[in-house]
Amino acid sequence: MKEQIRKAEGKLGILTPGMGAVSTTFMAGVIAVNKGLAKPIGSVAQMGNIRLGKRTENRYPLIKDFVPLANLSDIVFGGWDLYEDNVYQAAMHAKVLDASLLQAIKPELEAIKPMKAVFDRTFVKNLDGTFVKTGATKWDLAKQVMDDIENFKEANDVNRVVVVWCGSTEIYFEPTATHATIESFEKGLKENAPDISPSMIYAYAAIKLGVPFANGAPNLTCDIPALVELSKQTNTPIAGKDFKTGQTLMKTILAPGLQARALGVSGWFSTNILGNRDGLVLDDPDNFKTKEVSKLGVLEDIFKPDTNPELYGDIYHKVRINFYPPHGDNKESWDNIDIFGWLGYKMQIKVNFLCRDSILAAPVVLDLALFVDLAKRANMSGIQEWLSFYLKSPQTAEGLRPEHDIFKQLIKMQNTLRHMMGEDLITHLGLDYYQDLVEVMS
């Protein structure tokens, strides 16, 4: 497979629908790294190591030195937003990064200006866009997005493009007949079907052009049969959904440890306060429902109550998110975990995580962009489940339960990279280090 991977030649364009706190923090961060002002901490693709071969070989290269990823200096940024602010203005408004850092890269940020966004307030009630596209039909809007992508490539002399959704969470709704096939979906675009959201329009436009698409929000987007089918037809990688940051990141770290030690869990209460645009959007019950569904599925899939009802059959799991403007992007979460151990004796774990939402999300955007670009060059089309490491609600093949355990997700991702590069997969069995034991067992 290694010989089939095309080189990362020329420039890589990364386009983000949504140029708010997450997107501007990501863009500013990469520019700061390229200027030697900071390090890409949190990016597994840039800072993480991968073991190759046996432990005795001591081969632990950086992932970026092992697989042919695009160079950070070859990245060109662009995107769409509801507001006309350039990235410098948007980043200053988001107040995630220090003004002194933004000032040091001000010319580069000011040069990145949004394209008009596809917007429908039906799907995000608490926002009111002022810089939006108009068209007679959703088909027209999809064509405009495709034109934007092609024009961006030409204007910036870009060889390849990926799209990563960094927009707000849309309202919750289930797949319908409109989403069943490419034909029904395209018919829906032309007839302004009410169950086609803005995020789906972006996803359709990208996938139709063969541009990899990753969904960083929990809304229904590229995880519908029509767009999965289209991704295979156009040989396009897709990934989703919902960037794994903050409280859910902690859950996918802690829950596997409790499950591994066969400790019971009777309750897990989670609450958050968040004051950025994401918090404002999630203050609407219909938008919160989308996020709630994404968050609630994590523990169920890790603990599998049906498989082990004595330990997890009566677990009570509650999630709350509250809009609190004074905190801005600094999300604070509290978890109360009621557990029980030997002979049923009760214990508690309490977690208070004071995190910076966009600081955790920015490297996830970078890694997803770099890896879906790699997947495209490796002729890997359709759902890229190996990228579930970065996502709260991983997209999988139909009928396949997602894997939420972050440690198993990391093994899956690393083994996929090893497979790509022709290295042996690592199972961590380790019996070959103990030849006498192997002989007894054979």
* Amino acid occupying residue 296: L
Q: Is 335 left (phi over 0), alpha (psi -120 to 50) or beta?
A: beta
Please give the backbone phi and psi of residue 319, each rounded to the nearest 5 degrees, phi first.
-125, 135
Instruction: Read off the CATH number of the domain in which 302 is found.
Output: 3.30.360.10
Spatial distance between the Cα atoms of 129 and 136, rounded to a whole number of angstroms: 18
Spatial distance between the Cα atoms of 25 and 364, rounded to a whole number of angstroms: 11
Q: What is the pLDDT of residue 295?
A: 67
The percentage of residues in the chain with a pLDDT greater than 70, rounded to a whole number, is: 98
Residue 151 belongs to what domain range? 12-243+358-421
Q: Is residue 275 part of a domain?
A: yes
Q: What is the pLDDT of residue 63?
A: 98
Check whether residue 209 and residue 276 sit in a common domain. Answer: no
Residues β-bridged to residue 62? 49
Which residue is listed with tokens 């609190």? 324
Residue 220 predicted with pLDDT over 80: yes
Spatial distance between the Cα atoms of 260 and 320, rounded to a whole number of angstroms: 27
3-state SS record for 23-45: HHHHHHHHHHHHCCCCCCCCCHH
pLDDT in tens, 327-354: 888 889 999 999 999 999 999 999 999 9
Check whether residue 298 and residue 196 sit in a common domain. Answer: no
Give 395's contacts (C-beta < 8 A, 6+ positions apart).
215, 222, 223, 238, 239, 240, 241, 383, 385, 388, 402
Max CA separation in the chain (angstroms):
74
For residues 436 and 373, the model is more confident at 373
Report which secondary-structure segment, H or E, holds 382. strand 382-383
Q: What is the pLDDT of residue 410?
A: 98
Least confident interval from 131-135, 199-203, 246-250: 246-250
Check whether residue 239 and residue 278 sit in a common domain. Answer: no
pLDDT in tens, 102-111: 999 999 999 9
Check whether residue 316 and residue 386 sit in a common domain. Answer: no
Q: What is the pLDDT of residue 404?
A: 95
Question: What is the overall mean pLDDT for the chain?
Answer: 94
For residues 115 and 286, the model is more confident at 115
Instruction: Read off the CATH number of the domain in which 167 is found.
Output: 3.40.50.720
Residue 183 predicted with pLDDT over 90: yes
What are the E-state strand segments in 241-279? 264-274
Q: What is the pLDDT of residue 294?
A: 66
pLDDT in tens, 232-261: 999 999 999 999 999 999 999 999 999 999
Check whether residue 119 and residue 184 sit in a common domain. Answer: yes
CA dihedral over 367, 373, 379, 384, signed as positive or negative: positive
Q: What is the pLDDT of residue 289?
A: 79
* Amino acid occupying residue 185: F
Spatial distance between the Cα atoms of 29 and 105, rounded to a whole number of angstroms: 10
User: Taking Cα atoms as reference points, which of 396, 329, 383 lies closest to residue 360?
Assistant: 329
The two three-digit tokens of residue 54, written as one number: 């046996």
The count of C-alpha atoms lying within 13 angstroms of the C-alpha of 5, restricted to the half-sphere facing its C-beta, is: 19
pLDDT in tens, 145-166: 999 999 999 999 999 999 999 9
Verdict on whether the full-model pTM lies above 0.85: yes
Spatial distance between the Cα atoms of 400 and 206, rounded to a whole number of angstroms: 25
Q: Is residue 175 part of a domain?
A: yes
Q: What is the pLDDT of residue 69?
A: 98
* Amino acid occupying residue 310: E
Would strands 264-274 and 332-340 be described as parallel, antiparallel, or unpaired? Answer: antiparallel
Spatial distance between the Cα atoms of 101 and 362, rounded to a whole number of angstroms: 16
CA dihedral over 64, 68, 73, 76, signed as positive or negative: negative
Residue 437 predicted with pLDDT over 60: no
Produce one character per residue of 153-171: b if its CB has 16 or more CB atoms within 10 Å, e if not.
beeeebebbbbbbbbbbbb
Which residue is listed with tokens 């000032």? 103
CB 213 within 8 A of CB 161: no
Residues β-bridged to residue 383? 238
Q: How confident is the model at residue 192 (pLDDT cuts 50, 70, 90)?
A: very high
Q: Is residue 428 part of a domain?
A: no
Check whether residue 311 and residue 173 sit in a common domain. Answer: no
Report the length, in residues, of the chain.
442
**DSSP code of 270?**
E
Residue 301 predicted with pLDDT over 60: yes
Spatial distance between the Cα atoms of 62 and 338, rounded to a whole number of angstroms: 39
What are the E-state strand segments in 222-365? 237-240, 264-274, 316-323, 332-340, 346-354
Give me the mean pLDDT over the 77-81 stretch: 98
Q: How confident is the model at residue 438 (pLDDT cuts 50, 70, 90)?
A: low
For residues 321 and 195, the model is more confident at 195
For residues 434 and 203, the model is more confident at 203
Check whether residue 233 and residue 164 sit in a common domain. Answer: yes
Number of C-beta neighbours around residue 229 at 10 A:
17
pLDDT in tens, 83-96: 999 999 999 999 99
Check whether residue 39 and residue 158 sit in a common domain. Answer: yes
Check whether residue 236 and residue 323 sit in a common domain. Answer: no
Q: How confident is the model at residue 402 (pLDDT cuts 50, 70, 90)?
A: very high
Show which of 329, 354, 379 is a domain's final residue.
354
Q: What is the pLDDT of residue 296?
A: 74
pLDDT in tens, 4-34: 999 999 999 999 999 999 999 999 999 999 9
Q: How many independent structural domains does the chain possess?
A: 2
Cis preceding linkage at 295, omega within 30: no
Check whether residue 204 and residue 264 sit in a common domain. Answer: no
CB 339 within 8 A of CB 254: no
Check whether residue 148 and residue 269 sit in a common domain. Answer: no
Check whether residue 259 and residue 237 sit in a common domain. Answer: no
